[in-house]
A = this chain, B = another copy of it.
């Protein structure tokens, strides 16, 4: 097979890079080989069009031109993930969007500690056990390890303790350097129980032991650094998941993972993100990561597979079966967490391919699993998972809402970073909008909460009819026929950061309708399945940091959330990491999450014959059946 030389010119920053590849190589793979960064939000499927490059010269065949106009092609543009190398070529790489670092801090999570009346400490699986050993003598030549086992049996009633090799390697010196007065750090929750470390002398009882609770979100990874003795969260850090550059949603990631070493790359990217967050958290408390001796991890099922390096391919193929819902405990060194290498890493259990440990942990942390009243718990993240139930029963489903509310699939959509429009009000007479922009700068696009707000305002003011059609008869120049069909101009180009108009097109509206309809149809089908009236839900528990920014009124107006009195809505922030935190402190909480995973009934929407009808009924604003949305009906009458 012949080889070709590809030369890449990254625009903006970076030097030209050349690389030799065989015929048939994808430009995206060649870029990676050359170490030139390129974002692939759809994971290399040729769907998102963000990995576009410009062929200056040479032979690159376009496998798909779905995302390219004839003019694009004439100007030499091609998608890196669809460009096949057939000869030497020179390629210009446009500047890649850098994710800016404005991250949502969890508004509800400041200074978390267990409630004073909650006796968790005795249920901490990690125990520090002070021991006094009889020093060996010519009359008693028992080896160090047997001597230690005897002390643990006699002084702490701990039988059949094992020790990992690195700990066995240090017990001899530890015992002798501390005059046989040491403290055993024992994991009493493992099977068999394990000696994790041997500490010199006797630490004061209030001296911290450190643990981390980790939530691997598709978009954002969150780490809480916890003192396992006081129970206090001592640092919270969050960062975009480093996998984003290889796909914005779980499906894209699964596709990327199935190609070449994609799975290993995604595993490394998740680990880099988590380890960097742990390091940052440790710096704040002046700790070294090696002092962290326990970790709990949650995430959706795909994230857990990628984190553990387990191929996730079967998750997206009928019949949607994951490799592992409930992984056994691992050590930090096995999974690659840079904390104390022998620290136990507990991956909490999920329920199904699209209902993961973030939801089982959330069902506990949100209070649903303890509630007498029937609750609806939803985690508004990149995926749309929900649980209906109480402490007696739980039913769950996931609706592939798609990432429209995360800004993907919408022409001017973007993440909730600097320059994103996060709220819109439209004048009912002039149809002129007023926007609030994150960072107070010139806008660049619309984020999720901005889209919900905009859609609601357009509907309430009559710019949109209930089917999502634009009303051209209103006479506003903002309502126009654009390049991609009918659209509404939210901000004129002269007021934007990039000089282009920010618009919401008919296609965008359809995508948003589909997303919100999928979520609402999920509610309906869950309730229908158990014969429960959605109006009777006493508490709507909304997890996910995105949830905090949703304006309930607007979300109800577009029919995303059920029309219930406002006081029934509770915004809980990141319930996933809270559940992981509870399991980190208390074995009973861990055990309860395992029970929740075992008890929860999973409803596969793609196999449910009522889902399609419910979905189609919800494809209107707010819904075909206005009696389900009495408050919206009242507002429409007022306008």
Query: What is A's interface to B at a CB cutoff of 8 Å?
Result: 136-146, 162-165, 168-169, 171-173, 176, 191-192, 308-311, 313-314, 318-328, 330, 334-335, 352-353, 602, 604, 606-607
Given A146-B325, A319-B137, A311–B353 Cβ distance below 8 Å? no
Report how far A163 CA is from B168 CA in the complex, Å. 23
Given A172-B310, A308-B169, A145–B607 Cβ distance below 8 Å? no
CB of A380 to closest CB in B, whole Å: 24
Report how far A191 CA is from B160 CA in the complex, Å. 10
Contacts of A141 in B (CB 8 A): 319-321, 352-353, 602, 604
Contacts of A144 in B (CB 8 A): 314, 321-324
Given A163-B328, A328-B163, A176–B314 Cβ distance below 8 Å? yes
> When the two chains form their complex, are residues B602 and A143 in contact, meaning their CB atoms are under 8 A apart?
no
Report how far A236 CA is from B503 CA in the complex, Å. 77
Query: Looking across the interface, which residue of chain B has its beta carbon closest to that of A145?
Result: B324
Contacts of A318 in B (CB 8 A): 138
Contacts of A310 in B (CB 8 A): 168-169, 172
> When the two chains form their complex, are residues A143 and B311 in contact, meaning their CB atoms are under 8 A apart?
no
CB of A133 to closest CB in B, whole Å: 11
Query: Looking across the interface, which residue of chain B has its beta carbon closest to that of A350?
Result: B143
Report how far A318 CA is from B139 CA in the complex, Å. 11
> When the two chains form their complex, are residues A165 and B334 in contact, meaning their CB atoms are under 8 A apart?
yes
Q: How many copies does the complex hold?
A: 2
Report how far A367 CA is from B146 CA in the complex, Å. 28
> When the two chains form their complex, are residues B136 and A327 in contact, meaning their CB atoms are under 8 A apart?
no
CB of A614 to closest CB in B, whole Å: 18
Contacts of A606 in B (CB 8 A): 138
Contacts of A309 in B (CB 8 A): 165, 169
> When the two chains form their complex, are residues B165 and A330 in contact, meaning their CB atoms are under 8 A apart?
yes
Given A141-B604, A169-B308, A192-B192; 20 other pairs, CB 8 A cutoff: A136-B321, A138-B320, A138-B604, A138-B606, A139-B607, A141-B321, A141-B353, A141-B602, A143-B324, A144-B322, A144-B323, A145-B323, A165-B308, A168-B308, A168-B310, A169-B311, A171-B324, A172-B311, A172-B313, A172-B323
> When the two chains form their complex, are residues B165 and A335 in contact, meaning their CB atoms are under 8 A apart?
yes
CB of A636 to closest CB in B, whole Å: 40
Contacts of A604 in B (CB 8 A): 138, 141
> When the two chains form their complex, are residues A143 and B323 in contact, meaning their CB atoms are under 8 A apart?
yes
> When the two chains form their complex, are residues B165 and A323 in contact, meaning their CB atoms are under 8 A apart?
no
| Cross-chain pairs A/B with CB under 8 angstroms, 24 sampled | A136-B319, A138-B320, A141-B353, A141-B602, A143-B321, A143-B324, A143-B325, A143-B326, A144-B322, A145-B323, A145-B326, A145-B327, A164-B334, A165-B330, A168-B308, A168-B310, A168-B323, A169-B309, A171-B324, A172-B310, A172-B311, A172-B314, A173-B311, A192-B192
Contacts of A139 in B (CB 8 A): 607
Contacts of A137 in B (CB 8 A): 319
CB of A192 to closest CB in B, whole Å: 6
Report how far A334 CA is from B602 CA in the complex, Å. 39
Contacts of A168 in B (CB 8 A): 308, 310, 323-324, 327-328
Contacts of A320 in B (CB 8 A): 138, 141
Contacts of A325 in B (CB 8 A): 143, 145-146
CB of A10 to closest CB in B, whole Å: 35
Report how far A352 CA is from B140 CA in the complex, Å. 11
Report how far A389 CA is from B636 CA in the complex, Å. 99
Contacts of A176 in B (CB 8 A): 314
Report how far A630 CA is from B216 CA in the complex, Å. 82
CB of A442 to closest CB in B, whole Å: 48
Query: Looking across the interface, which residue of chain B has its beta carbon closest to that of A144?
Result: B323
Report how far A137 CA is from B162 CA in the complex, Å. 41
Report how far A320 CA is from B139 CA in the complex, Å. 11
Given A169-B311, A330-B165, A319–B138 Cβ distance below 8 Å? yes
Report how far A602 CA is from B146 CA in the complex, Å. 16
> When the two chains form their complex, are residues A162 and B328 in contact, meaning their CB atoms are under 8 A apart?
yes
List of 3 A-B pairs having minimum Cβ-Cβ separation, nearest first = A172-B323, A143-B325, A136-B321
Report how far A321 CA is from B146 CA in the complex, Å. 11
Report how far A58 CA is from B163 CA in the complex, Å. 51
Contacts of A143 in B (CB 8 A): 321-326, 352
Query: Looking across the interface, which residue of chain B has its beta carbon closest to that of A164?
Result: B334
Contacts of A142 in B (CB 8 A): 321
Contacts of A353 in B (CB 8 A): 141
Of A171, A173, A321, the most chain B CB neighbours within 10 A belong to A321
Report how far A324 CA is from B157 CA in the complex, Å. 21
Query: Looking across the interface, which residue of chain B has its beta carbon closest to that of A328?
Result: B162
CB of A266 to closest CB in B, whole Å: 13
Report how far A434 CA is from B164 CA in the complex, Å. 57
Report how far A38 CA is from B4 CA in the complex, Å. 50
Contacts of A169 in B (CB 8 A): 308-311
CB of A258 to closest CB in B, whole Å: 11
Query: Looking across the interface, which residue of chain B has its beta carbon closest to that of A607?
Result: B138
Contacts of A145 in B (CB 8 A): 323-327
